[in-house]
Structure 1
Amino acid sequence: MDSMNDINVGNKSRNKSLIIIVILLAALALLTWLYLSTRSRLGSLLEEKEKQRVELQHELDSLITEHNNIKLEYGTFSDSLVAKDSIIQANALEIRKLLDTQYEFYKVKKKLDRLRSISQGYLKQIDSLYTVNQELKAENEQIRSSYQMEQQKSSSLLKDKEALTEKVTMAAVLRAYKITASGVRGSGDKERITDKAKRVEKIKVCFTLGENPLLSAGAKDIYVRIARPDKIILARGRGDDYSFSYKGEILQYTMRETVNYQNQAMDICTYWINRSAKENLPEGVYVVSVYAEDFEIGQTSFELK
């Protein structure tokens, strides 16, 4: 009887142990399932957060790249907005730190929105500066073009004035017309023209001073210069008393006549006398030039045989 009781007690004890083991196993299974489920959800959350971080990082990079491209595009205009650029760069650095060290994506998102707003304001300001600069360039170009046109007009007027002055200057010059020159012999009523070199006693030069109301009236020195075929100038002497100034040079003259010019045409004849009876003039072409008031006013030639 006692043996049967011991057996029953033993069976009950084993049953309790089995029940406890089953309960523990069930609890362990439940805990394991809960652990795996939580780990899976945590992994999904971490994966989702990493995805958000990458997206925010990409958005920040795109925003900064666009900002830097704007700076490059506008060149020196960006220098005038250095302070605003510094604010943008500082905000970008702060967001990068948050993305690298924290997962406060709401705060990151908010800062990104603010940074985008600052960047848009930067773009508007720099675009406005560029537009103003282009308008100023266009205005300056118009002013420069107008200035050049005025300069051209002034230059044209100056050239016209210079041309007119030159014309007036040239017009206010004595002119000698109907210039004739020839060898002669005899005098008075017995004067005869000859082209024989050995018979020439004088060289006669006649011309007409033209009418010119632009000149000042009064005494005018007229110089006649005769060059022989060998280029020697016929002259009474070689000193200063037989020379005159022409264009800064000192020239010898053959004859000099001082006339009282009253702006009217006047006829003049003057003679060079061959005082060396023993020396015949050389054969060939003689060139006669007439000068007055630093101008050569006429020229002719004749030939002796």
Structure 2
Amino acid sequence: MEQDQSPEPKNNNRVLLIVALILVLLGINGVLFYMNQQKSKQNEQLQADVVTKDAKLEEQIKQYEALKADFERQSQEVQGMGLANDSLEAKLAQINADLLKLRSFRASSFSVAEQRRFKQRASNFEAQLRKKDEEIAQLKADNEALYTETTTLKERQNKLTDTISTVVRSNQELSEKVAVASRLQAENIRIGVVNSREKEKADDDNEFKARRVEKIKVTFNLGRNDVSPKETKQIMMRLIEPDGAALYNLSTGGGTFMIDGAEAFYTAKQDVVFDNTRQPVQFLYAKGAGYKTGLHTVELYEGGVMIGKTTFTLK
């Protein structure tokens, strides 16, 4: 009987061992399951962090691209106003450098510190951008005001120029009228001849015998003129023979002067102080040789303008 009962304790021990082994295995599996669960959660968290970082990196890149576009716009506006844009070019260079660095990041390496740093730099750039926009707006307003003021001044200058031109033209017309009005007139022109015996002869028909003429005497009065200044006037007398040539001799007081821009000969001249009293003037001319027969003309000039004319005949 004792030999039959001896295997039972061994079987019990074996069962206990198996149960213990099963429990250990279950524990290990539980631990492994838990660890796998934790690892899965960690991977999901890591993946979520990467997605978040990638979104923030893309957002930061877009922000810098927008800043770049705005600074390029400002640079063009400043350049369009003819101003230097060196400071804007320097900012664009900084933004391009930051963009290049941002695009070189991987989402996993875009740390929180880097995010904060680039976000702060972007905020600084935005503040500078707003300040520059205010300056540009003020410059545009100043330029517009200056343009309006310049346009107004030009309009006033043009009106003033027109007014001055009108005044100058009016003065010129007035001067021309005064010049015309101030011209002297030779009145009561009379011709007489003097023979070799110093006897003078006058004829209402102004006809004389040539062989008896030694000198030609021309007398007239300077007509009244309240416009012409009282001053010394130079009177020229031209004695024109029948062939159309003016008698001219330096030794007897002849010379040249200008008539309507052309040079002409005068026979004699004298200075007369005009006093506006219808004062008489006389020319006495001796040719020193025989006179030609035919129609002679006497022309009187003052200031290059004819003031009187008459004719006489020598037969």
Corresponding letter in the other structure for 2:252: D
Q: For 1:275-286, what aligned pairs fall within 5 Å after superposition?
A: 276-277=289-290, 280-281=292-293
RMSD, aligned α-carbons: 5.1
Partners of 1:213 and 1:263 within 8 A in 2: yes
> What CA distance in whole angstroms lies between the structure 1 residues aligned with 2:241 and 2:132?
92
Deviations 1:164-206 (A, max 9, x none): 34433443331236879999x997377865699x999698877
Partners of 1:88 and 1:118 within 8 A in 2: no
Q: For 1:31-180, what aligned pairs fall within 5 Å after superposition?
A: 31-75=35-79, 100=105, 102-104=111-113, 105-106=115-116, 108-109=118-119, 111-176=121-186
Offset at 1:62? 0.5
Aligned with residue 224 of structure 2, among 202, 211, 230: 211
Corresponding letter in the other structure for 1:141: T
Secondary structure of the equivalent of 1:119?
helix
Are the structure 2 counterparts of residues 286 and 65 from structure 1 closer, same or farther at C-alpha, using a change threshold of 3 Å?
Answer: farther
Offset at 1:59? 1.4
Q: Structure 2, unaligned stretches of length 5 or more?
A: none
> What CA distance in whole angstroms lies between the structure 1 residues aligned with 2:75 and 2:285?
92
Residue 241 (str. 1) matches residue 245 (str. 2): no
Greater CA drift, 266-275 or 225-234: 266-275
Partners of 1:286 and 1:303 within 8 A in 2: yes
> What CA distance in whole angstroms lies between the structure 2 residues aligned with 1:189 and 1:232?
24
Identity of aligned residues (%): 18
Corresponding letter in the other structure for 1:45: D
Greater CA drift, 264-273 or 217-226: 264-273
Paired residue total:
298
Partners of 1:200 and 1:274 within 8 A in 2: no
> What CA distance in whole angstroms lies between the structure 2 residues aligned with 1:81 and 1:190?
98
Deviations 1:91-149 (A, max 9, x none): 99679868956334355445544543342233223312331332233234334433443
Offset at 1:54? 0.8
Corresponding letter in the other structure for 1:102: S
Greater CA drift, 75-84 or 222-231: 75-84
2:32 alignment counterpart: 28
Partners of 1:81 and 1:126 within 8 A in 2: no
Deviations 1:255-285 (A, max 9, x none): 55777854244677867677655x755x7x8
1:223 alignment counterpart: 236
Secondary structure of the equivalent of 2:42?
helix
Secondary structure of the equivalent of 2:112?
coil
> What CA distance in whole angstroms lies between the structure 2 residues aligned with 1:170 and 1:158?
18
Q: Structure 1, unaligned stretches of length 5 or more?
A: none
Secondary structure of the equivalent of 2:76?
helix
Q: For 1:178-193, what aligned pairs fall within 5 Å after superposition?
A: 188=201
Are the structure 2 counterparts of residues 119 and 221 from structure 1 closer, same or farther at C-alpha, using a change threshold of 3 Å?
Answer: closer
Deviations 1:230-270 (A, max 9, x none): 553224xx224322453499854335577785424467786
Partners of 2:254 and 2:268 within 8 A in 1: no
Partners of 1:212 and 1:264 within 8 A in 2: no
Secondary structure of the equivalent of 1:188?
strand
Residue 253 (str. 1) matches residue 262 (str. 2): no
What TM-score do the two structures reach when normalised by structure 2? 0.64
> What CA distance in whole angstroms lies between the structure 2 residues aligned with 1:249 and 1:145?
44
Offset at 1:72? 1.8
Are the structure 2 counterparts of residues 275 and 199 from structure 1 closer, same or farther at C-alpha, using a change threshold of 3 Å?
Answer: same
Residue 232 (str. 1) matches residue 245 (str. 2): yes
Partners of 1:243 and 1:251 within 8 A in 2: no
> What CA distance in whole angstroms lies between the structure 1 residues aligned with 2:203 and 2:186?
27
Are the structure 2 counterparts of residues 298 and 9 from structure 1 closer, same or farther at C-alpha, using a change threshold of 3 Å?
Answer: farther
> What CA distance in whole angstroms lies between the structure 2 residues aligned with 1:286 and 1:192?
13
